[in-house]
Amino acid sequence: MIEIRNLHHRYPDGTQALRGIDLTIDDGEFLLICGPNGSGKTTLIRLICGLFKPTSGSIRIDGLKDPHASQEIRSLVGMVFQDPDSQIVGETVREDVAFGPENLGLSPGEIRERVDWALRVMGLQDRSEKPCHLLSGGEKRRLSIAGVLAMRPRAILFDEPFSHLDYPGVQEVLKHMLLLHREGHSLVVTTHDVEKVIAHVGRTVIIHNGEIKAAGKPEDLMSELPRFGIRPPCYALFGRERISWLTE
Ligand SMILES: Nc1ncnc2c1ncn2[C@@H]1O[C@H](COP(=O)(O)OP(=O)(O)OP(=O)(O)O)[C@@H](O)[C@H]1O
Ligand SMILES: [Mg+2]
């Protein structure tokens, strides 16, 4: 569904953030992109979402040659930002979630239906009239996911979704990710802290210094992680176990 070829990105200050990324993400895949701080994870997923243009290389989404030039990109890929505050645009929870569907030019009825659905899925229906700035960190994270869900994108890219969350918050967000994956959405998650999610993903990519250093099944990459500055999950020492109660 997403095809990235020889992607390079250099920021205006001269920082070379990505150096020749080749990556294909299949429809319905659950992919983990892990790497230490500054390795290029956020840059890569911002480029996939079309927030800015790469210095060179190509990104094809769903076979479209220039997806970022069209409105279609919004129904194909959505991004949950690393910092939820930077994604909040509305005064209240409901207004914030409605912002995306309003920009798609949908009818008021369809907007209401999508907003109610996204608030329900993320467990925010009883907070719908609350001013966004009064939400807790975990609620803001759920709000940012609800805002992306309301756009109904086929692929959802989560940038460090577990940062600032406590244990129940992590479980909550992970549970919703697994449900979205079951419903057929493609999911891409970036993190430097792989423990929370690696047991659930189908494929893992290690990015380091703007390059993909390894890719494959999570269990095959466990021993590679420390070499690239990523802490392996503690249960890697005991074998891989799925946390089945999360998905029940
Ligand atoms: N707007 C920018 N201007 C200049 N350099 C930038 C900019 N954004 C990121 N960089 C640099 O690009 C490199 C990659 O940054 P990026 O944010 O993609 O890393 P990351 O893997 O997401 O890190 P983290 O785990 O800390 O979120 C870093 O060296 C960073 O300093
Ligand atoms: Mg980042």
pLDDT at 75: 77
Structural domains for the chain: 2-62+155-246 (3.40.50.300), 88-153 (no CATH)
C-alpha of residue 210 to centroid of ligand 1, in Å: 10
Which pLDDT value is given to residue 69? 65
Task: Supply the residue whose CA is at minimum distance from atom 12 of ligand 1.
Answer: 17
What are the pocket residues of ligand 1 if the criterion is a CB atom closer than 6 Å to any ligand atom? 11, 13, 15, 17, 35, 37-43, 82, 192
Question: Considering every ligand atom, which ligand is closest to the CA of 47?
Answer: 1
Residue ID of nearest Cα to ligand 1 atom 17:
42
| Residue 236 pLDDT grade (very low, low, confident, very high; cuts 50, 70, 90) | low
Which residues have their alpha-adjacent CB atom under 5 A from ion ligand 2?
A: 41-42
CA of 154 to the centre of ligand 2 (A): 22
Tell the residue number behind the tokens 């997923």, with chain if given.
45
Nearest ligand, CA 191 = 1
DSSP state of 11: -
Q: Cα of 16 to ligand 1 centre, how many Å? A: 9
pTM, to two decimals: 0.89
Whether residue 203 contacts residue 33, with contact meaning beta carbons closer than 8 Å, is answered with: no
Residue whose CA lies nearest to ligand 1 atom number 25: 37
Nearest protein CA to atom 4 of ligand 1, as residue: 11
* Closest ligand relative to 18 C-alpha: 1
Ligand 1: centre distance to CA 108 (Å): 39
Q: Pick the residue with more confidence: 189 or 105?
A: 189
Lowest mean pLDDT, pick from 32-41, 85-94, 186-195, 227-236: 227-236
Q: Which residue among 10, 43, 49, 159 is best mutated to probe the pocket of ligand 1, counting the most ligand atoms within 8 A of its Cβ? A: 43
**How far, in Å, from the CA of 37 to the mean position of ligand 1?**
8
pLDDT score at 235 = 62
Distance 15 CA to ligand 1 centre (A): 8
**What tens digit of pLDDT does each residue of 94-141 get?**
999 999 999 888 999 999 999 999 999 888 999 999 999 999 888 998
Model confidence at 220, pLDDT cuts 50, 70, 90, reads very high
Q: Closest ligand 1 atom to the C-alpha of 15?
A: 5
Q: Which of 245, 222, 238, 194 is nearest to 32 (CA)?
A: 194
- pLDDT tens sequence across 8-67: 999 999 999 999 999 999 999 999 999 999 999 999 999 998 888 999 999 999 877 666
- What's the confidence (pLDDT) of residue 248? 45
